[in-house]
Amino acid sequence: MHRARGSAQRARETRGLVLAPTCIVSTWQIVRDGECIELAGELRIADAAQIWQTLGAVAEPPGDHLDLDLHGVELVDGAIMSLLVDTRSALAARGTRSEIIGAPPRVAPLVHLYGGDQPPVTEEVIEARTSIIAQLGGAVEQIGRRLRELLVFAGQLTGSLFGDVRHVNWRAVPHLVERAGTDGIPIVIVLDFLVGFVMAYQSAVQLKLFGANIYVADLVGIAVTRELAPLMTAIIIAGRSGAAYAAELGTMRVSEEIDALRTMGFRPISYLVTPRTITLAIVAPVLTLLGAVAGVLGGMVVGAMSLGVTPHGYFAELQTILDLSDVWTGLVKSVGFGIAIAFIGCRQGLSARGAAQGVGRSTTSTVVACLFAIVVIDTLFTVVFRGFGV
What's the pLDDT at 121? 55
Q: What percent of the chain has pLDDT over 90?
A: 23
Q: Which pLDDT band holds residue 236 (cuts at 50, 70, 90)?
A: very high
Angle, in degrees to the nearest 10, between helices 243-254 and 324-350: 20
By CB neighbour count within 10 A (0-12 exposed, 13-18 middle, 19+ buried), where does 371 fall? Answer: middle
Domains of the chain and CATH, by start: 18-122 (3.30.750.24), 172-387 (no CATH)
**Which is it for the CA torsion 63, 66, 72, 73, positive or negative?**
positive
Distance CA 380, CA 337 (A): 12
What are the backbone angles phi and psi of residue 180, rounded to the nearest 5°?
-80, -30
Tell me the one-letter amino acid at 12: R
Q: Which of 338, 335, 328 has its CA nearest to residue 385?
A: 328
Helix (H, G, I), strand (E, B) or coil at 23: strand
Is residue 19 scored above 80 in pLDDT? Answer: no
Each residue's pLDDT tens digit, 291-340 = 999 999 999 998 888 888 888 988 888 888 888 888 889 899 999 999 99
Q: Which pLDDT band holds residue 237 (cuts at 50, 70, 90)?
A: very high
User: Which one of 123-127, 215-219, 227-231, 259-263 scores highest in mean pLDDT?
Assistant: 227-231
DSSP state, residue 211: T
Helices in the chain by DSSP H: which ranges? 2-14, 48-58, 78-93, 108-113, 123-129, 132-162, 172-180, 185-209, 216-223, 229-237, 243-254, 257-263, 268, 274-306, 311-321, 324-350, 356-387
Task: Please state the pTM of the whole predicted model.
Answer: 0.63
Distance CA 274, CA 176 (A): 11
What's the pLDDT at 337? 94
For the ranges 236-250, 289-303, 312-326, 349-363, the lowest mean pLDDT is seen at 349-363
Distance CA 3, CA 13 (A): 15
Each residue's pLDDT tens digit, 276-291 = 999 999 999 999 999 9
What are the backbone angles phi and psi of residue 101, rounded to the nearest 5°?
-125, 165
What's the pLDDT at 120? 66
Each residue's pLDDT tens digit, 73-96 = 888 888 888 888 888 888 888 778
Each residue's pLDDT tens digit, 119-175 = 765 544 444 456 788 778 878 888 888 788 778 888 878 877 777 667 778 888 889
Higher pLDDT, 273 or 63: 273
- Whole-angstrom CA distances from 315 to 290, 301, 309, 319, 343 are 17, 12, 10, 6, 38
Higher pLDDT, 7 or 300: 300
What's the pLDDT at 380? 92
Distance CA 193, CA 58 (A): 73
What's the pLDDT at 281? 92
For the ranges 18-22, 142-146, 223-227, the lowest mean pLDDT is seen at 18-22
Higher pLDDT, 197 or 322: 197
Average pLDDT value over all residues in the chain: 82
